[in-house]
Amino acid sequence: MSVPQRYPDFLSDQRQFFDELITEEWQTYFSEEWDAIRRFEIEKIFEHFKPARILDVGCGVGFHDAEMARYDFVEEVDAFDYSEKSVEKANATYSHPKVKRFVADLSTFAPTNRYDMVISFQVFEHLDQPPAYFELCRRSCKAGAIVAIVTPNRTRLSNRLRARKGLPYELCDPQHFKEYTIGEIHELGAQAGFTPAGGFGYRLWGWPPLERLSLRTRLNLGFWFPSIAHGIVSFLRAP
């Protein structure tokens, strides 16, 4: 039985899930298409902002950390995850001299720096207490820094097609607590004292004819049609 099959219901604390996943099913983390999507995420984020010091919240296997560190204007990337096995694997597989990683969670990570950008990739949807995320951002951000949240789009094309059939929206993964739109994340951030600062969508997925198109075209279609994009990036500015 695979690790996801052993955990079919949402877990508030998912560190054991990811410890087991990274240990038993490491091969599932490798995909040329997935790598291209992750590089596209960073490319488009850095078209908007060019941070020198970055904190990656929930860094997982560390691909994004090493990729961000390759940009000349990035001076350092600090990152943490509460899955000890994920941090071990990240340091072994995606090491980079600009990157430092820690085992911690939202409440225990103690920033020694103030960052130009606090970012998370496919983390926010797992959290059942979003205010704790924004509290961590408040402790970690320089004045006027950017918070960037990369997450699935609740109103993505596949869910729109489900709605046309009279079916409810579904989550991408049973370990997601909730999925959002850019506007909904802006609203949550504003409640925590952050100012909405835009965002974008990327990648159209979930309709078979789209698979005939190149990946780059599908990624850009989501950028052009953010309301039905599969993924979204929401930007907020720290007070």
* Per-residue model confidence as pLDDT tens digits over 137-154: 999 999 999 999 999 999
168 and 194 Cβ atoms separated by less than 8 Å: no
Instruction: Categorize the per-residue pLDDT at 112 as very low, low, confident or very high, splitting at 50, 70 and 90.
Output: confident
55 and 238 Cβ atoms separated by less than 8 Å: no
Q: What is the mean pLDDT of the chain?
A: 97
Beta bridge partners of 219: none
Instruction: Categorize the per-residue pLDDT at 113 as very low, low, confident or very high, splitting at 50, 70 and 90.
Output: confident
- The pLDDT tens digits of the residues spanning 40-73 come to 999 999 999 999 999 999 999 999 999 999 999 9
Please, how many CA atoms are within 13 Å of residue 72, restricted to the half-sphere of its CB?
A: 0
Residue 43, C-beta contacts closer than 8 angstroms, at least 6 positions apart:
none
Query: What is Dmax (Cα atoms) for the chain?
Result: 51
> What is the CATH superfamily name and number for domain 26-237?
Vaccinia Virus protein VP39 (3.40.50.150)
Annotated domain spans of the chain: 26-237
What is the spatial distance between Cα 78 and Cα 101, in angstroms, rounded to a whole number?
A: 6
Instruction: Categorize the per-residue pLDDT at 163 as very low, low, confident or very high, splitting at 50, 70 and 90.
Output: very high
Residue 14, C-beta contacts closer than 8 angstroms, at least 6 positions apart:
83, 126, 175
Sequence length of the chain is 239
- The pLDDT tens digits of the residues spanning 196-228 come to 999 999 999 999 999 899 999 999 999 999 999
